[in-house]
A and B are shown apart, each in its own frame.
Chain A
Amino acid sequence: MADPAVDTLRLVGVRKAYAIGTRAEVEVLHGIDLTLKRGEFAALIGPSGSGKSTLLNLIGLLDRPTGGQLFLEGQATEELGDEARTRLRARSIGFVFQFHHLLPAFSAQENVMLPLLAARGRRDDAMFARAAALIDQVGLTPWAGQRPNDLSGGQQQRVAIARALVLEPALVLADEPTGNLDTQSADVVFELLRRVNRERGTTFLIVTHDPRLANRCDRIIELVDGHIAADGPAPVLGGAGAITVP
């Protein structure tokens, strides 16, 4: 269990540049300072090309920053090798993608179980029970044995959420989790994320283009041209100062 006194995530002057050709470099993140405390439910918004996905990849330890420091549950990550980063990612971070990214060769319950299986190397009964419990929590017990292709978009996303939670991570990174869903399914998925946040104290960082969704978060971080342009509590939907994302 995460230490409540330690920030879930802390970024200090994080930069990311991409090489174009052999010499030219383009910096897409210019010294990001950001802290997410345990149990926060934050939205990351910004126009296309603002660096949201790049920032999410850095926070998810899928990519390395070209400058600055990134602390995950108090642990510095710059010096970690690939193996250690993978293990830290598995232990501390859960991913929910826009297109759910489930493995079609595995059933819904097996997809949920996969991160546990990869972490422990071998299946055990507790692992199966844990996956079954999560499938139950997301309301998909009748579909536990179905392959992803046999599920609706909303159901697939709920499986992906269960998978993200299976290792009880301190932080869940959700990249447009409702971007591919109809309004009703989007509400179901969002409420599920909120419930997990409330009941487990899991920190959420949700990348979204949907102002309705962003306004329902506790905090909104706006990224513009690789800088944090705004960072503060979300206004009440439709109230004065409510954020509208272009």
Chain B
Amino acid sequence: MNRWLPFEWIAATRFLRAASLQTLLIVAGVALGVSVIVFISALITGLQNNLFRRTLDLQAQIVIVPPEEVARPLRAGVEPGRIATVVQPRAQRLRSVDQWQAVLAQVRRLPTVTVATPVVSGPAFVVRGEAIQAVNLTGIEPETYLRLVALASKMVSGDAEVGTSDVLIGTELAQDLGVDRGDKLILRTTAGGTATLLVRGLFDFGNRAQNQRAAYVALRTAQSLLELPGGATSLEINVTDPFAAEDTAVVISAQTGLDAQSWITTNAQFFSALAAQSMSNVIIRFFVGLSAALGIASVLVVSVVQKSKEIGILRATGTTRRQILRLFLLQGGLLGLMGSVVGSAAGWFFLFAWRTLARNADGTPLFVIDFDPWLFVYAAVGATLVGTLAAIFPAAQAARLDPVVALRG
């Protein structure tokens, strides 16, 4: 007997050890549940983080665009009481954000904003000999834009520090045009701009369409090609907490009068898919937790019946009802704790196996799973709590036992 342990702890551990097979089976049951929770939670969290990373790596969290141009029907000459019933929406021209430098300076002063950069984007054609391909041209300031999106990390050849006579293209486009780093390309726009640019680097976004359609040039080059001298078609912003981007977007809209769109509103379907995934995770946890709780409760109910004589002896020799109650609550908690320790280890093993076995064709991990140590702490605390709660009914049953009846067996 350990001298510092209280009476209830000593008795609870002895009772559990005395019924070793029963204890082993229920610990195995709880462990299985905990391992499923740990594995599924880590898997879903890893999957979600991976989706977030992929989504946010290549897009700004907030984009400020000029207000849409609307049609203003002329009323002059219309007979009184008669107005046009159909107003054709106006085609949107490529326009700059009005006074974007001032807006950018204002946005950069917001405490939640980590980086803000001007962007000019519009349609263009890439020409190489007989080949011609339509692309979405994006003019960037590399020093700020590369802090905003993970373009630099997607470069498979060259670098992303694009200068005024450089262009970055995707690997698919490079293949279609038969060019490589160091070759020259002609860029033409519908606005009439033409420039011959040097391929500074090739990127791979892991998406064929994007690799075929995206082309990055310096901000000034894009302004010149798209006939928007000194302009910026949008301002792109990142904030400290991506999930609070909508709040900052609202503040920016209110302060500037411009349309600030957060990635949360522009990716609503993505978010509803994530919410559904999170909900399924919660449901799995709930039912696994419930089955573990029922397992512990049923074992303890049986234990109370089996040990009724021992409870009677303890009561006769001076053990109070409260001590009996605590003794059985402790048994429930201990079963949960032991199950969670074994289950966490098993869950960790499953995750390790998953990380080793689930790989893409090129040998890279299917997606990155983070081993969050807090997950194990939560599992331990959760399982101990579930075990203790599950023990309430059997513990109360044991505490209520009439010692005379219990001793009679």
Contact = CB atoms under 8 A, between A and B. Distances in A.
B318 A87 contact: yes
A118 B318 contact: yes
Given A82-B321, A117-B10, A89 B310 contact: no
Nearest to B15: A105
Contacts of A163: 317
A103 B403 CA distance: 15
A103 B1 CA distance: 15
A177 to B, nearest CB: 15
A82 B323 CA distance: 13
Contacts of A60: 316
A123 interface: yes
B7 A121 contact: yes
Contacts of B316: 60, 62, 89, 95, 101
B54 interface: no
Contact of B14 (A105, A121, A122, A124): A105
Interface residues of B, number: 29
Interface string A92-119: 0001010001111110001001110111
Contacts of A82: 320-321
Which of A83, A106, A117 is packed against the most chain B CB atoms within 10 Å? A117
A125 interface: yes
A104 B17 CA distance: 11
A57 interface: yes
Contact of B7 (A57, A86, A97, A117): A117
B5 interface: yes
Contacts of A105: 14-15, 17-18, 310
Contacts of A83: 320-322
B7 A118 contact: yes
B309 A123 contact: no
Which of A82, A89, A95, A114 is packed against the most chain B CB atoms within 10 Å? A114
A106 to B, nearest CB: 6
Contact of A119 (B313, B318, B321): B318
Contact of A122 (B6, B318, B403): B6
Contact of A101 (B4, B15, B313): B313
Contact of B5 (A90, A110, A119, A122): A122
Contacts of A231: none
B310 A103 contact: yes
Contacts of B310: 103-105
A63 B1 CA distance: 32
Contact of A124 (B3, B17, B312): B3
Interface string A41-61: 000000000000000010010
Contacts of A89: 316, 318
Nearest to B309: A101
B3 A90 contact: no
Given A62-B404, A101-B309, A123 B5 contact: yes
Nearest to B319: A118
A42 B152 CA distance: 97
Interface in B257-315: 309-310, 312-315
B407 interface: yes
Contacts of A167: 318
A166 B320 CA distance: 17
Given A57-B404, A101-B309, A103-B310, A125 B319 contact: no
Contacts of A120: 7
Nearest to A54: B404
A239 B5 CA distance: 56
Which of A82, A105, A119 is packed against the most chain B CB atoms within 10 Å? A105
A77 to B, nearest CB: 15
Nearest to A147: B18
Contact of B3 (A57, A91, A123): A123
Nearest to A84: B320
A106 B14 contact: yes
Contacts of B318: 86-87, 89-91, 115, 118-119, 167
Interface string B306-345: 0001101111111111110000000000000000000000
B2 to A, nearest CB: 8
A-B CB proximity, top 10 nearest: A90-B318, A105-B18, A105-B14, A115-B317, A118-B319, A101-B313, A117-B7, A86-B320, A123-B3, A62-B403
14 contacts: A63-B404, A83-B320, A83-B321, A86-B319, A89-B316, A101-B309, A101-B316, A105-B14, A105-B310, A119-B318, A121-B6, A122-B5, A123-B4, A167-B318
Given A103-B313, A103-B314, 9 more contacts: A62-B407, A86-B321, A87-B318, A89-B318, A104-B310, A106-B14, A118-B319, A122-B4, A123-B7
